[in-house]
């Protein structure tokens, strides 16, 4: 058990902080009144993968018959299923010269907080999600972002999982990403699509047309300048019954020097 730690009155978050049993009772009572919404699809061997990542392997390591218990061996990229990308994914060094943080080095406080769903379903595959789109979506739900909100971009692309159209999504640009991170103080942005940027096809077309490398992964690489995390491959954002006024947990699994971590993303609505 980790001792409670207080820093200028701010509650800190500790992994495996069990606390006294009375507070567990309070927590369970509070959880009992919440509706829980699963925003992660199941990882399976048929999960669509980008060509640089191999298909997931899930195989029995031993079974009940021979060993009296069952266990599987799994082998897949950090970027399989719903996962959180760390700044280290975007580059080894952040723009201020410090080493980019890997997933195990990021503050837990980033991964639990107030959620907001921005409805961007009108954007077409290959479109940029620009600053004006984000402002319009916020105005529609009459919400003003505050630092550390967890912003969930609702494109509806998760409905195309297991089809080739899943690889075609509207995606963030450099300016819209920096607007959220630098101007609004957002640390975690999620999308219910295969990737956070536009489809690779669209980026490559722009690169071939202009010869300018700025068109390749502009939203990912914005994280070199302004470190942030993106959640890719969310699902079921339509099941969250309101666009704000709920909590999101998206704690990534802790693997040493990992570029990303699998996350079971959950929205809690009271």
Q: Which residues bind Zn ion (CB under 5 A)?
A: 79, 85, 232, 260
Compute the least distance from the CB of residue 13 to Zn ion, in Å.
24
If the CB atoms of residues 180 and 219 are measured against Zn ion, the closer one turns out to be 219
Compute the least distance from the CB of residue 126 to Zn ion, in Å.
19
Could you tell me whether strands 260-262 and 57-62 are parallel, antiparallel, or unpaired per DSSP bridges?
A: unpaired
If the CB atoms of residues 138 and 172 are measured against Zn ion, the closer one turns out to be 172
Compute the least distance from the CB of residue 68 to Zn ion, in Å.
38
Contact criterion met (CB below 8 Å) for 267 and 247? yes
d(CA 13, CA 90) in angstroms, rounded, equals 26
If the CB atoms of residues 125 and 261 are measured against Zn ion, the closer one turns out to be 261
If the CB atoms of residues 233 and 243 are measured against Zn ion, the closer one turns out to be 233
Compute the least distance from the CB of residue 226 to Zn ion, in Å.
17
Nearest to 269 by CA among 243, 231, 234: 243
Q: Tell me the residue nearest to Zn ion as measured from the CB.
A: 79
If the CB atoms of residues 194 and 246 are measured against Zn ion, the closer one turns out to be 194
Compute the least distance from the CB of residue 98 to Zn ion, in Å.
22
Could you tell me whether strands 83-85 and 112-119 are parallel, antiparallel, or unpaired per DSSP bridges?
A: unpaired
Contact criterion met (CB below 8 Å) for 72 and 249? no
Where on the phi/psi map is residue 43: left (φ > 0), alpha (ψ -120 to 50), or beta? beta
The residues facing 93 across adjacent strands are 99
Secondary-structure percent of the chain, ordered helix, strand, coil, rounded to 5: 30, 25, 45
């Amino acid at each position: 058990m980790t001792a409670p730690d207080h820093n200028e009155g701010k509650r800190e978050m500790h992994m495996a902080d069990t606390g006294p049993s009375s507070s567990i009772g309070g927590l369970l009572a509070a959880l009992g009144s919440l509706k829980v919404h699963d925003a992660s699809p199941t990882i399976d061997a048929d999960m669509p993968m980008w060509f640089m990542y191999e298909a997931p392997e899930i195989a029995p390591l031993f079974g009940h018959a021979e060993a009296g218990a069952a266990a599987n061996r799994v082998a897949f990229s950090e970027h399989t299923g719903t996962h959180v990308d760390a700044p280290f994914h975007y580059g080894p060094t952040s723009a201020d010269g410090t080493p980019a943080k890997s997933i195990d080095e990021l503050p837990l406080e980033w991964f639990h907080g107030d959620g907001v769903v921005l409805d961007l379903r009108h954007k077409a595959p290959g479109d940029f999600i620009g600053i004006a789109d984000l402002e319009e979506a916020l105005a529609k739900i009459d919400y003003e972002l505050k630092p550390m909100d967890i912003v969930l971009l609702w494109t509806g692309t998760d409905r195309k999982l297991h089809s080739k159209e899943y690889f075609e999504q509207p995606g963030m640009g450099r300016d819209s990403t920096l607007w959220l991170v630098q101007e609004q103080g957002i640390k975690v942005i999620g999308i219910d699509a295969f990737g956070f940027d536009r489809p690779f096809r669209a980026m490559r077309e722009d690169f071939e047309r202009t010869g300018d490398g700025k068109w390749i992964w502009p939203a990912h690489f914005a994280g070199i300048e302004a470190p942030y995390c993106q959640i890719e491959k969310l699902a079921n954002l339509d099941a969250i019954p309101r666009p704000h006024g709920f909590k999101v947990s998206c704690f990534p699994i802790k693997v040493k020097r990992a570029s990303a971590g699998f996350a079971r993303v959950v929205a809690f609505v009271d």
